Amino acid sequence: MSRKVAIFWPGDYRTRPNEWARDQSRETTDQLIAALKKLGRSPYLVEGYLTRPDESIAKLGPIDDPMIGVFVHWTYAPHTVDGVVGKDNPLLLASNFSGTWPGLVALLNTGASLESVGREASRVWTAAEDWTADASFMERLDEWCSTGRIHYGDSAIQGAGVVSKEAARLAAGVLDDIRRRRILALMLGDTSMGMINGYFGPRLLYPIGFAEHKVDQAWLIDRMRSVSDARVDDAFRFVQDRGVTFHWREADAEDFTPESSREQVREYLAVLDLLAEFRADCLGWQYQLGLLNLLAPSDFAEGLLNSHARPEGNGEVVITSTEADQGNLVPMELMKRVLQAKGLPAAVMFHDVRWGARHDGHFLWVLLNSGSCGAYAFNHDVASLTGVHSYRQPAGYFPVPGGTFAGESLPGTITWARSWLDRSGRLVMDLGQGESVALPEDVREAWWRGTTRQWPFMAADLGCPMETIMAHYMSNHVAVAYGDILGEMTALSQSLGFRVRVFGD
C-alpha cells in the first residue's frame, strides 16, 4: 500500500455547521497526521470541506492514494460517496468519539451508504486525547495502513435463530393483514441531507408488502393556507391541555413565539389532510433542506404524529419517519403492527445513534434526534402529552423559528430495529433487544448538554458491545419500541423476505 495517505474533510452543505466544527476538524486531523507519521506514512490534506457532490467528484475522484475521511460533525454521504464510488483504493472513515457534533452519526450514515453501492471502506475511532497513545486505535490504523482494511469481530451478530410458536403465530397474523392490504407510505419529498442508505424505492418496497406515493412537499405551502384558523385554535388548545410545555422566548430563542408553534400545528393538520386524501398508512417527511427557509421545522408535527394523543386523532399513532428515511419507516411501521397485535401501546421512536459512554459498568448509547420521538417515551401514557417540551430548534440549523418535540425517555425494556440495503441489492433487517436506562440527574444533564439539549433523549443499552455497533451497524438511525417484540419482528421480517441479523452477546 502506498506510503502517501490523503486526508479529506466531508462537510455539511450549510456553512454554519462547518464553521462550528472547524476547530474539532483541525484538532482531529492533527491527531490523525501524528498517528500516521508514527506508522511511517506520509499524510497530506485535501484542502477545505467538501460541501457538495461536485466537490467530492472533483477533489477525490483523481486520487489513487489510500484515503481517510475525517468525521467530527454531520456530513452528507454524497460528499464522500460520489467521489470514491467505482474506485478501489483503500478508504477509511475516521472519527473522534465525541457527542459535541454528530460526527459519529455521519460516519455511520456514510458507512451504510458506501455499503449500499458496493464500495469497500473501513471504520476507526478513538476517544483518546492523544491518539498515538491509544494502543488499540494504533493497531487498527496500522492494520489498515498495511492491508487496506480493518477487521472487526462479529461474534455478537447472529442469524435469525428459532422463535417461539406464539411469536411465529402472531407474526403470521400481521403478515396476513399486510397481504390483504398493502402498506402505503406517503413520501413528502425524497430522502434528505445525503442519506443514500435511506431510500429503497418501489422495486424493493413491493416485495416486502409496502408501496410509496410521492408528493412534492411544496404542496404543504399551499395546503397550509386551506387549514382554517378554527382548526388550528382547537389543535393548539389540545396540545396545551394534554401537557406540552413550550419554551417560548427563552435565551437564544427570542424569536420562538406562540405563533411559531401555531404554524407547526397548522403544518401537522395539513399533513393529516394529505394522509387522509391518499389513505396512507405511514409517512416519510423530507423537510430538510427544501423547506428549511420556507416553513417552521417539521419536528413538532412529526412528534405529534408519532404520539397516541394528538389533535384530530383516533388514539393511534401515525408512524412518521423524519428525513423521509425508508430504512426506519419500514421497521417502525412493522413494529407498530406487531405491538398492536400484542395489545401493547404502539409507539415507535425514531432516533440517531449519537454518542455513548460507560455508566455504572455498562456502555450506554445516547439516542437523540431532533423531534420524531413520540410522547409515549416520556410518560408511558397513551392519553397524555405530559413530559413533552418544545424548545426552539437551533437557529444555525433551522432559520425559521419553530420548536422540537423533546423529553427524557423513561426506563424499560426496548426492542430496536433498522432495515438497510446490502451490496448484493437485498434488504436486511437488523434487530436487537436492550434497555432504556434512567440516569442520575447530573449524568443525564451532562450527556444531554454535551450533545443537543433541545432534542429528545434516550440513554440505551442496545444489548451488544459498543464496538459491534460502530463497526457493523448500517445506519445513523434506529427505530425503538418499548417491550419485547424481538421474536415477532424476527419471524415477520423473515416471512417478508429480509435477511435478518440479530445483535446481542
d(CA 42, CA 5): 6
What does residue 172 show for φ and ψ, rounded to 5 degrees? -65, -35
Give the three cell numbers for residue 201.
Answer: 424505492
* Other residues' Cβ atoms within 10 Å of the Cβ of residue 400: 16
**What share of the chain has pLDDT > 70, as a percent?**
100
What does residue 351 show for φ and ψ, rounded to 5 degrees? -140, 160
- Sheet strands (E) in 361-451: 362-368, 389-390, 412-421, 427-436
- Sheet strands (E) in 324-422: 349-359, 362-368, 389-390, 412-421
pLDDT tens-place string over residues 119-148 = 999 999 999 999 999 999 999 999 999 999
User: Given a cut of 80, is residue 382 above it in pLDDT?
Assistant: yes
d(CA 337, CA 339): 5
User: Given a cut of 90, is residue 372 above it in pLDDT?
Assistant: no
**Phi-psi category of 256—alpha, beta or left, where left has phi over 0 and alpha has psi -120 to 50?**
beta
pLDDT tens-place string over residues 108-125 = 999 999 999 999 999 999
d(CA 457, CA 37): 39
Question: What is the 8-class DSSP label of residue 298?
Answer: S
Q: pLDDT value at position 400?
A: 97
* Other residues' Cβ atoms within 10 Å of the Cβ of residue 245: 14
Q: Are 310 and 398 in contact, with CB atoms under 8 Å apart? A: no
Give the three cell numbers for residue 269.
Answer: 393538520
d(CA 286, CA 27): 33
Name the pLDDT band for 192 (thresholds 50, 70, 90). Answer: confident
pLDDT tens-place string over residues 290-337 = 899 999 999 999 999 999 999 999 999 999 999 999 999 999 999 999
442469524: which residue's cell?
159
d(CA 306, CA 13): 29
d(CA 122, CA 406): 34
Q: Are 388 and 460 in contact, with CB atoms under 8 Å apart? A: no
Residue 10, H or E segment: strand 4-10
Q: Are 306 and 317 in contact, with CB atoms under 8 Å apart? A: yes
Sequential DSSP letters for 88-143: -S-EEEEEE--SSSSHHHHHHHHHHHHHHTT---EEEEE--SSGGG-HHHHHHHHH
Q: pLDDT value at position 143?
A: 98
Which residues are 43's β-sheet partners? Answer: 5
DSSP 3-state assignment of 436?
strand
> Considering only 264-268, 289-293, 360-364, 453-457, which range has the smallest mean pLDDT?
289-293
User: Given a cut of 90, is residue 190 above it in pLDDT?
Assistant: no
408519532: which residue's cell?
306
Name the pLDDT band for 446 (thresholds 50, 70, 90). Answer: very high
User: Given a cut of 90, is residue 1 above it in pLDDT?
Assistant: no
Burial code (b: 16+ CB inside 10 Å, e: under 16) for 174-201 equals bbeebeeeebbbbbbbbbbbbbbbbbbe
Give the three cell numbers for residue 220.
Answer: 404543504
**Beta strand 499-503 pairing with 427-436:** parallel
Q: pLDDT value at position 356?
A: 97
d(CA 210, CA 330): 8
- Residues 6+ positions from 115 with CB-CB distance below 8 Å: 121, 197, 420, 421, 422, 423, 474
Amino acid at 226: S
Q: pLDDT value at position 74?
A: 95
pLDDT tens-place string over residues 38-61 = 999 999 999 999 999 999 999 999
d(CA 198, CA 182): 20
The full set of domains in the chain, from first to last, is 4-147 (3.40.50.10940), 165-503 (3.20.14.10)
pLDDT tens-place string over residues 73-84 = 999 999 999 999
Mean pLDDT, residues 210-220: 96
Q: Are 112 and 476 in contact, with CB atoms under 8 Å apart? A: yes
**Phi-psi category of 463—alpha, beta or left, where left has phi over 0 and alpha has psi -120 to 50?**
left
Name the pLDDT band for 184 (thresholds 50, 70, 90). Answer: very high
